[in-house]
Amino acid sequence: MKSKLLIACSLFVTACCVAEDKASMGPELYRAVAVSSLPMERRNFTQGLYIIDSELFVSSGQYGESAVRVYDWPGMNLLREAALPASIFAEGLTLVDNRLYVLTWRENQLLVLNPDSLAIESIGRIGSEGWGITHNEGNLWLSNGSDQLYRVALPGGQVTPLRVMKNGRPVYRLNELEWIDGRIWANVWMTDTIVVINPETGIVEAEVALDGLLPESDRRKDTDVLNGIARDPETGAIWVTGKRWPKLFQIKLEPRH
């Protein structure tokens, strides 16, 4: 028994050391390179992107202008849209079990919409601001602009916080989220950076620089920051855009030093 206990303890210590070593090494660094692009309506103050069943769902923010729009994918023809109440500022969105979840910014609400009619079916409450949202295997993951992500179990609603760290320091302003290959990709608001987060440890395992992705010739006075990450489930391609950007970009990652 003692021998087995020693082996178990040894394995635990080894696993902890490996995790600590990985954290101390810092994130892998990449640069995003545009592979292709698609047109995007500039009126979208993009908060959330989600691709499923040959449709692209977009949530667009701003008080009095918030809306959800659905485009055929990858044709980008508008299929349907719905304005949201003028009293809310729409943030991220994701679709789970034929329910479209849309966060609101300062209203502490989680809207549940019918993805076909885009009608609001119910309104839930959250304990903080809403910024970004994604999901995996029965869990919603929420960000609120802090250094925390929150895992919300469905259908029970149990909430588990996760602090996000890079090089031993918290990462703030986590915004739009996307679940990709067992990791959470997050826009860092007010930067041209995406961080790739281990959902078990909160450690940033990779950092992606996207500066220069949108050409200066495509920028206008109302062109805002990078925001929006979506993975095409059919091809595995990763697409990004920004607030009032005229394009969506398919990206590939190249190492940087």
Ordered structural domains, the chain, with CATH: 27-255 (2.120.10.30)
Write out the chain's pLDDT in tens, 257 residues.
Answer: 444 434 343 443 444 444 455 556 799 999 999 999 999 999 999 999 999 999 999 999 999 999 999 999 999 999 999 999 999 999 999 999 999 999 999 999 999 999 999 999 999 999 999 999 999 988 999 999 999 999 999 987 899 999 999 999 999 999 999 999 999 999 999 999 999 999 999 999 999 999 999 999 999 999 999 999 999 999 999 999 999 999 999 999 999 97
Residue 51 main-chain phi, psi, to 5 deg: -110, 130
pLDDT of the residue at 29: 98
Token representation of residue 245 = 């950007």
Distance CA 91, CA 144 (A): 10
Q: Which long-range contacts (CB under 8 A, 24 or more apart) does 192-197 make?
A: 192/225, 192/226, 194/32, 194/229, 194/240, 195/27, 195/164, 195/166, 195/171, 196/27, 197/149, 197/164
pLDDT of the residue at 257: 74
pLDDT of the residue at 22: 53
pLDDT of the residue at 16: 44
pLDDT of the residue at 13: 42
pLDDT of the residue at 21: 53
pLDDT of the residue at 17: 44
Token representation of residue 3 = 């021998």
Give the three-state DSSP class for 144: coil
Q: Which amino acid is at 8?
A: A
Distance CA 94, CA 23 (A): 29
Give the three-state DSSP class for 13: helix
Q: Which amino acid is at 233?
A: P
Q: Are strands 204-209 and 28-39 parallel, antiparallel or unpaired?
A: parallel
pLDDT of the residue at 9: 39
CA 87 to centroid of chain Cα atoms: 24
Distance CA 131, CA 92 (A): 6
Q: Which long-range contacts (CB under 8 A, 24 or more apart) does 222-228 make?
A: 222/42, 224/45, 225/189, 225/190, 225/191, 225/192, 226/187, 226/191, 226/192, 227/46, 227/47, 227/175, 227/176, 227/187, 227/189, 228/46, 228/47, 228/48, 228/49, 228/58, 228/176, 228/187
Tell the burial category of 17 from Cβ atoms under 10 Å away from its Cβ (0-12, 13-18, 19+).
exposed
pLDDT of the residue at 24: 60
Cβ proximity of 80 and 118 under 8 Å:
yes
Nearest to 48 by CA among 164, 140, 122, 127: 140
pLDDT of the residue at 242: 97
